Chains A and B, each alone.
Chain A
Amino acid sequence: MLQLLWIVPALPAAGFVVLLLLNRHLSRRATALIGAGSVGLSAVVAILIAVSFITSPPPGDAYRQVLWTWFDTGGLAPQIAFYLDAMSVVFMVVITFVGFLIHLYSTEFMERDEGFTRFFMYMNLFVASMLVLVLADNLLLLYLGWEGVGMCSYLLIAFWQKDVQNVYCGRKAFIVTRVGDTALIVGLFLLFTQLHTLEIQPLMAGAAKNWAAGSGVAVAAAALLLGGAVGKSAQLPLQTWLPDAMAGPTPVSALIHAATMVTAGVYLIARTNVLFTLAPDVRLAVAIIGTVTLLYACFSALAQHDIKRVLAYSTMSQIGYMFLALGVAGWSAAIFHFMTHAFFKALLFLAAGVVIEALGGEHDIFKMGGLRRKLPTAFWAFIIGAASLSALPLITDGFYSKDLIIETSLGAVDGNAWLWLGALAGSLLTSIYAFRLVFVVFFGEQQTPVTLHPRWRMKLPLVVLSVLSVVGGFVWLPGWMGGFHPFETFLDTALPVTQTVAGSFAYTGVAALLTSLIAVVGVALATVWLVESRAALARFAARPTPHDVQTFWLNGWGFDWLYEHVFVIPVKWFARVARGDLVEPAFSGIAWLNLQAWRALSASQNGQLRVYIGVAGVGLAVIVAFVVLR
């Protein structure tokens, strides 16, 4: 069964090629069938492989499949090869399965779009690239997938390319992430030069063997990889592209900017955990970046009006949690949160897509309201998603994973109270903004008429993801609930176990109660804030320009302004100044000098015999004088 591994990425890739070649000759039905079908089949194969992997694990708990040698020169011989272990199994299954649901949803969501084929082409290529990323056995192939998803992200954000604003957002996403990618590729140069391979497993073994903990080279390597991860996962300071990425069609946001691509950074750090273990300082930086980003994004989310931007900031925030977990060596906890997040965030985006479509493309939450009865499926999906996002205790998958991260941030050997407090504060804010969203959109008075109701291809993914968002967390229960944790056991075959402080407060029932309470309090605050005080809502809605702090949060704390002034404007200025080429004057100067010399000399050719004789005479005199006086 495992030998079929290559088929998992090959199927969506084949879907892309077929759609590309047959483009105009396909009916919409055929396009949908190829586009969604290839990913669906890929999901089936992935699940079969996962079952086979779990029931009869390969030797060493990992399976490697070499297709061919990419190239071989100067000691560098990366292969086109896939590597499957517990972690890549989890990513592979989540990507293909959630990816399939979103493709299915898109067949209805995009059905009237003129770029229907182009859409599925890009989506299939994205899924293929993402699978290459998580299955790659060497960092160069990983980088191929990494850039592939970045490119597809650009193409899909800019999908409605007649509007230049969308294209701008796509370009911004690609360019900002590419800044991070530059750090990553420089990291590859460093790793290859030092350890003479790019194959991940030997590389990690080599690093562990040759590098001392905290050594300069280990810190440099880990920091460079972190640079790449920060860009792709939209963490500070390269987070600015993600809110703008919402310009793409909503299924794109669900698939790329929530469930899969943005977690690539999490995958990369977990995959190269050996390096991060060797560089404790960098790992601390990961934890701090995660905590700061999650708080930053929470505050920003509180101030947004655009339903998708709220969700975008919530994604940034949840990935902040994953980074926090990685930073305190909670590798498995981060992967667990990746999975639950993929379920509930895809659910939230798809439900938001239903709302946006139903209201004829409206994104402003203050023009929504009262949709509870008109769009019951979306409403319930949204409630479940928001509850999961807020980590409401026991009945949501987000609770189990986020609670685990909050526990780990204090209870792990590398954890501390500051990180824990940050995580708790984030939890409170998360439930406030999540339920603010729910109340504003679904309660109150209806502002815009509903013009479109979802059919089964949009509803089914909502139902499936809703179920997963409830039960998805039961695979890893906390200690005080009996300690049923097959997911952890499974991941332990691929990732190091988190070292915890014995008897830490973090793992007690009291701490869990506190965490749960905070989430509930957040919901209550949102209720008090908005539902109980309709007047506040009215005030809020009536004031399109809120006071300064809110504007500051709305605009993502001025990062865009800063980057605009530090990078964009100087480069544009230079480009304007240098447009005619700065070195050109030197050459045209030479040309001008020649021209002047020619003018001066041709002026001497004036046709006057006496001048010629005079000059010749003077010349003769000079020569004679020179010869005689020498």
Chain B
Amino acid sequence: MILLWYILIPAVAAPLAWLVSRSRPDLARWVALAGTALPLALVTWQWVSQAGALKAAFVAHGPGAAGLVQGTWLADVHATWIAPLGISFFLAEDGLTLIMLVLTFAMGLLAVLASWRGITARVGFFHFMILWTTAALAGVFLSLDLFLFYFFFEMMLIPMYFVIALWGHERRVYAAIKFFIFTQASGLLMLIAILALYFIHGRATGVYTFDFTQLLGTQMPSGTAFLLMLGFFAAFAVKLPAFPLHTWLPDAHTEAPTAGSVILAGVLIKIGAYGMIRFMVPLFPQAVYDFRTIGMILAVIGIIYGAIMAYAQTDLKRLVAYTSVSHMGFVLLGIFAWNTLALQGVVVQIVCHALSTGALFILVGTLQDRIHTRDMAKMGGLWAVAPRMGGTAMFFALASLGLPGLGNFVAEFLILVGTWQVSRWAAVLGAVGLVVATVYALWMMQRAFQGQETHALRFDDLVPRETAMYAALIAALVVIGFYPQPLIATARQTVTAAQQMTAGSPLSPEAASAAQTMIVDGATADDGQ
């Protein structure tokens, strides 16, 4: 039942925030704070108390995909909803879900905190939207019924649209519509794929169901599977975003208010990664394998192209937005590599990117609130004006370029070392992306914070509320950088289960390592002659 609370608390807090704002606008902030902090506390408590269970589940259900799918949920809710159509209200939670939920509520909380001073218009409605998004996101990560998943997937789109369109910056309506159309169109492709899967499975077995666990392993011609896989890929690749479907993101990020950017970067785009790991690859392992080369090429282009585009920008927020394209390229690369190292790297990357990029967006937001511009040509030398802000920006810039000792490095290293075992060139090019990351991160620091301050800007350095937010994010990144094991251990069961679902396909690590060994043996044999 605890799973319901994760959706219900923010969902109930949402109208409440709107209602109280009619009499006391500021109270809405506190309601929203409670509406995100409470489930965050709840999920953290669950994480801590279930740490043992996570381990035990992994040991007890190690081999055997069936056992993993059925028996290892930390918690689940299974209720019939629209029985005649085989639609059920099926929520379940495992390690990955737990991590995604922590991220959702933490980013929701940050979004509320980051808007404490910046949002003054329609305060109640704003927090209603933020809470609604949070509830829908929790639903997305908890659903294992594909129909329910799609339901929440669409549900989160609407409040996000309003957040951008109503509280955004100069070109907010354009950005909001673009965001909506991209997501909606690709989402429809996924809906078609879901329905096709539903009918194919129903015709073959007589059981018409949207239950993901039952749809696993549905037999179909490889051409059909490939098309259906593309349907899912379209939706998740737009969300992620993967090159060349990324162009909504710079606009949406740039125009969204800080809270919107934080949720977008921190959680919303992670649905792409989550959906691929949870649904796309296990449902269509062979098709994903056939698509692997293209997927990896897109990932590598995304890494390098995104980084160069970040370097090319003059708008600070747009620069940060493009870094997401680059970082999500690593995620895509890791997913297509599909071995333990790479997948664990993806999980760490999901978390660390949320923390570091979320922080950068908040930073840009606080800066924009103070100097009313995002144009780096109008900045420069700000370190001298606000040293604490400068130091904070430096930290997150370094995190962004993958400095060892911070979580992002662990993630990128794991992804690349895993990728190396599948495709050496992809790993090398991904590593080259780290050099370009250095270029944009340092360039950003120079343009905004270093050099001579020539625009006579005077503003306050970080206030305690902001310092506390950044301190928490910095601490989290350093802890993950030096001891990511809790994160890895939490996701291990999910990663193993997902891999076992694809065990029979050439995508499985066993098949890959067998191929690898053959290559190596061949190479040494040649050398010996």
| A216/B527 contact (C-beta < 8 A), A162-B452, A174-B442, A186-B431 known | yes
Residues of B within 8 A of A (CB): 243-244, 246-247, 250, 305, 308-309, 311-313, 339-341, 344, 381, 383-384, 394, 398, 403-405, 409-410, 413-414, 416-418, 420-421, 427-428, 431-432, 434-435, 438-439, 442-443, 445-446, 449-453, 482-485, 488, 492, 516, 520, 523-524, 526-528
Q: Looking at the complex, which of A140-148, A280-288, A379-387, A615-623 is the stretch in contact with chain B?
A: A140-148
Contact in complex: B413, A162 (CB < 8 Å): no
- Given known pairs A147-B404, A161-B450, the reply for A579 and B428 (CB within 8 Å) is no
Distance of A220 from chain B, by nearest CB (Å): 10
Q: Output the nearest chain A residue to B343 by Cβ-Cβ distance.
A: A74
Within 139-187 of A, Cβ neighbours of B (below 8 Å) are at 140, 143-144, 146-148, 151, 154-155, 158, 161-164, 167-168, 170-171, 174-175, 178-179, 182, 185-186
In the bound complex, what is the Cα–Cα distance between A75 and B418 (angstroms)?
Answer: 11
Pick the residue among A151, A217, A581 that contacts B523 (CB under 8 A).
A217
Q: Does chain B have a CB within 8 A of A517?
A: no
B414, B420, B446, B528: the one within 8 Å of A212 (CB): B528
Q: When the two chains form their complex, are residues B308 and A575 in contact, meaning their CB atoms are under 8 A apart?
A: yes
Q: In the complex, which of the residues B243, B312, B403, B404 contacts A579, with contact meaning CB atoms closer than 8 Å? A: B312
Assuming A73-B341, A164-B450, A174-B438, is B427 touching A189 (CB within 8 A)? yes
User: Assuming the A-B contacts A73-B344, A151-B398, A174-B438, are A571 and B308 also in contact, with contact meaning beta carbons closer than 8 angstroms in the complex?
Assistant: yes
Q: With A and B bound together, what is the CA distance between A148 and B403 in angstroms?
A: 8
List, sorted by A's number, 28 A–B pairs whose CB atoms are closer than 8 Å.
A68-B483, A73-B344, A73-B414, A73-B488, A76-B341, A76-B417, A140-B404, A144-B404, A147-B404, A151-B398, A155-B394, A170-B442, A175-B438, A175-B439, A192-B417, A212-B524, A212-B528, A215-B524, A216-B523, A217-B520, A217-B523, A217-B527, A571-B308, A571-B311, A578-B305, A581-B247, A581-B250, A587-B247
Asked whether A148 lies within 8 Å of B482 as measured between CB atoms, the reply is no
- Residues in A whose Cβ lies below 8 Å from that of B414: 73-74, 76
B486 to chain A, nearest CB (A): 10
Is A574 part of the contact surface with B, judged by Cβ < 8 Å? yes
Closest A residue to B445 by beta carbon equals A167
Interchain CB contact under 8 A, B309 and A578: yes
**B446 adjacent to A171 (CB under 8 Å):** yes
Q: Contact check, A167 vs B450: say whether CB atoms are below 8 A apart.
A: yes
Q: Complex: how many Å from CA A574 to CA B309?
A: 9
Query: Are A190 and B485 closer than 8 Å at their CB atoms?
Result: no
A550 to chain B, nearest CB (A): 32
Closest to B312 in A: A575
Contact A171:B416 (CB < 8 A) given known A71-B484, A148-B405, A182-B431 = no
Q: Which residues of chain B are near A545, meaning CB under 8 Å?
A: none
If over half of B's interface residues share one DSSP class (helix, strand or loop), that class is named, otherwise mixed; here it is: helix
Contact B438 A178 (CB under 8 A): yes
Find A74's partner among B344, B409, B446, B484 (CB 8 Å cutoff).
B344
Residues on the B chain within 8 Å of A168, using CB: 446
Q: Chain B nearest CB: distance from A149 CB in Å?
A: 11
- Tell me, yes or no, whether A70 is within 8 Å of chain B by CB: yes
Nearest CB in chain A: distance from B517 CB, A: 11
A586 and chain B: residue at smallest CB distance? B244
Assuming the contacts A68-B483, A74-B344, A587-B247, asked whether A185 and B488 have C-beta atoms less than 8 A apart, the reply is no
Q: A70-B482, A171-B442, A215-B524 are in contact. Are A140 and B413 (CB under 8 A)?
A: yes
B326 to chain A minimum Cβ distance, whole angstroms, is 13
Would you give the shortest CB distance from B332 to chain A, in whole angstroms?
Answer: 16
A504 contacts B by Cβ under 8 Å = no
Query: Which chain A positions have C-beta within 8 A of B523?
Result: 216-217
Given A146-B404, A167-B450, 17 more A-B residue pairs with CB atoms under 8 Å apart are A71-B488, A73-B414, A74-B341, A144-B404, A155-B394, A164-B451, A167-B446, A182-B431, A185-B434, A186-B427, A189-B416, A216-B526, A575-B311, A575-B312, A583-B247, A584-B247, A587-B247
Task: Check A583 against B244 for contact (C-beta < 8 Å).
Answer: yes
Chain B residues with CB under 8 A of A164: 446, 450-452
Whether A193 pairs with B482 at a CB distance below 8 angstroms is no
Are A162 and B434 touching (Cβ within 8 A)? no
Contact flags A554-589 to B (C-beta < 8 A → 1, else 0): 000000000000000001001110110101101100
Among A76, A146, A155, chain B packs the most CB atoms within 10 A around the CB of: A76
Q: Is the CB of A194 closer than 8 A to any CB of chain B? A: yes
| A394 located at the interface, meaning its Cβ lies under 8 Å from any Cβ of chain B in the complex | no
Task: Give the contacts of A214-250 with B (CB-CB under 8 A).
Answer: 214-217
* Among B398, B418, B438: residue with most chain A CB under 10 A: B438
Q: Is A602 an interface residue (CB 8 A)?
A: no
Interface 1/0 per residue, A524-550 and B, CB below 8 Å: 000000000000000000000000000
**Which chain B residues border A579 with CB–CB below 8 Å?**
309, 312-313
Inter-chain contact B432/A182, CB cutoff 8 Å = yes
